[in-house]
Amino acid sequence: MVLLPKPPAPKESNDEIKRNIFFENDAMEQMAKHFVGNNYRYRENIVIPNNLGPPKIKTNEEKMIESAVESCFFKSFMACVLGYGLGAAIGLFSSSVNPNVSVPGVEKQQTAREVFREMRSTTHSYAKNFALIGMVFSAVECTIETSRGKSDWRNGTYAGGVTGGLIGLRAGVKAGILGAAGFAAFSTAIDYYMRHR
């Protein structure tokens, strides 16, 4: 048996070498291989279902606006504005339904200006209270959700307890405890209804 020497490996032609090189500069070549042609890096095959239409890639501006809208500051600001509007509507309704009780022994009727002034003060009082409650509740809930890293019914319950306690503390410790328990129970009931309806 005659052993023949192993033939030398075929040398790449100059055209093949040029085809495998992206750049003449060594640093640029290494960078191109890392970002474009690195065959040793694990690549994940991402399958995006397009049964609801083609997938839309968000731009940086859309991502920036989305993160601003989802921030705790924006949520609490919007809760304050919407609470003010809701409180104003409820205050206006309650002041229009509330009968004007005149002072006994005085025959003087209230003028339209006095009635409107009283309606305005009642409406503004309700609006301020609802705005304060909405802002505090939203800020506390967003802070709790961010720190816990979960979005479940407990966030609303904890936020209701803290908000009710803070509002009730103005009238004393007992009122603060009752306010915390009542607001937490109310928040839990509302959250349960919204999630399971």
Helix (H) / strand (E) containing 97? helix 72-97
Ranges 23-32, 114-123, 127-136, 153-162: which has the least confidence: 23-32
The residue-averaged pLDDT of 25-35 equals 75
Percent of residues in the chain assigned helix, strand, coil, to nearest 5: 70, 0, 30
Does the pLDDT value for residue 159 go beyond 80? yes
What pTM did the predictor assign? 0.63
Interatomic CA distance for residues 91 and 121, integer angstroms: 9
